[in-house]
């Protein structure tokens, strides 16, 4: 709070206290011409009179005590802008003290799981329950409560991972975050292949997940030349992508931003910038391990279930 606001608060508080004192003084004193305490000179129907009884003294004194209490409260706890109270108490300090107590309790809860491998944590029901709780509070906003994601937010329940789905890669992703960058290629492609170059490229990219559609596909054939000249550097000759740089696999028919012509056109011409925030400072490594174990379990538990079902 600036000094200007501090002085404003001081003036407001002082005026309120002085106003209360003045109000008590003004209403308690008698002035010449006032009627007797027993009479207001108001009479109705000839014999109905309104009396003017003064407040009992104990009531007035109680009012003064509330004013004294307010001054004492301001002196002890503060309340005049940035000027601290004599006790040094602040709500921030109280919150920090309460948080320290709760953090100590949480530390005891998470301590047994510190440094444990992700795949081992995924086999521990208690660890998974903690990871699920952390996921619900921290990750579900983007990835959904079930982990199935949304447009622009990856599905965590399948076996498709742009940055790798091993326990260590998932841990690295959650700890330090990721920056997925798809550059703008509209101008470059148009310069290479004319005004329809982007549509040619889209046609070819779509055939990577459906190779049977490449045959006798004139637009895809034109697009392959453009793909080989621009896109191959990140996505590879076969379109399998590169997990080291987060380049998606274009052959699996999973499209983070959708596979409509409009969506792919925007992706190529305007680029994409997907950010996975780092959670090392927010959660700490042990809690990140727990949530990483839960995320890893979302796809592997389902895979185990499918495998056991097919075996039957």
Taking residue 220's Cβ as centre, other Cβ atoms within 10 Å add up to: 21
- Residue 83 CA to residue 194 CA, distance in Å, equals 69
- Residue 115 CA to residue 306 CA, distance in Å, equals 30
pLDDT of residue 33: 66
pLDDT of residue 40: 61
Q: What parts of the chain have a pLDDT lower than 50? A: 303-312
pLDDT of residue 311: 37
- Residue 26 CA to residue 305 CA, distance in Å, equals 83
pLDDT of residue 43: 74
pLDDT of residue 228: 96
pLDDT of residue 57: 84
- Residue 248 CA to residue 162 CA, distance in Å, equals 5
For domain 116-311, which architecture applies? Answer: Orthogonal Bundle (1.10)
Domain range annotation of the chain: 3-89, 116-311
- Residue 13 CA to residue 83 CA, distance in Å, equals 13
Q: pTM for the complete prediction?
A: 0.71
Local structure of 308: helix, strand or coil: helix
Contacts of 70 (CB under 8 A, 6+ apart): 17
pLDDT of residue 34: 64
Phi, psi angles (nearest 5°) of residue 78: 85, 160
- Residue 292 CA to residue 189 CA, distance in Å, equals 39
N-to-C CA span, the chain: 69
Residue the block writes with tokens 């499209």 = 255
pLDDT of residue 117: 96
């Amino acid at each position: 709070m600036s000094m200007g606001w501090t002085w404003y608060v001081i003036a407001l508080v002082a005026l309120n206290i002085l106003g209360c004192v003045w109000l008590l003084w003004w209403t308690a004193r008698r002035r010449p011409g006032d009627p007797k305490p027993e009479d207001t000179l108001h009479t109705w129907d000839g014999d109905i009179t309104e009396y003017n009884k003064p407040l009992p003294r104990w009531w007035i004194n109680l009012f003064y005590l509330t004013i004294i209490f307010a001054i004492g409260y301001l002196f002890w706890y503060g309340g005049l802008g940035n000027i601290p109270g004599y006790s040094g108490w602040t709500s921030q300090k109280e919150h920090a003290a309460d948080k320290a107590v709760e953090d100590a309790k949480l530390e005891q809860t998470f301590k047994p799981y510190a440094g444990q491998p992700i795949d081992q944590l995924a086999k521990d029901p208690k660890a998974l329950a903690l990871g699920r709780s952390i996921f619900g509070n921290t990750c579900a906003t983007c990835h959904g409560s079930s982990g199935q994601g949304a447009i622009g937010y990856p599905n965590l329940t399948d076996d498709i991972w742009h940055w790798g789905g091993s326990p260590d890669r998932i841990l690295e992703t959650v700890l330090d975050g990721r920056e997925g960058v798809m550059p703008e290629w509209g101008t470059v492609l148009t310069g290479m292949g004319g005004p329809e170059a982007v549509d040619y490229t889209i046609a070819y990219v779509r055939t990577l997940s459906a190779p049977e559609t490449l045959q006798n596909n004139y637009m895809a054939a034109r697009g392959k030349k453009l793909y080989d000249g621009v896109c191959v550097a990140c996505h590879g000759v076969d379109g399998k992508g590169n997990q080291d740089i987060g380049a998606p696999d274009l052959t699996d028919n999973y499209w983070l931003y959708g596979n409509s012509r409009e969506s792919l056109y925007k992706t190529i011409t305007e680029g994409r910038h997907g950010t996975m925030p780092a959670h090392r400072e927010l959660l700490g490594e042990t809690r990140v391990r727990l949530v990483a174990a839960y995320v890893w379990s979302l796809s592997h538990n389902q895979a185990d279930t499918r495998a056991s079902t097919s075996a039957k």
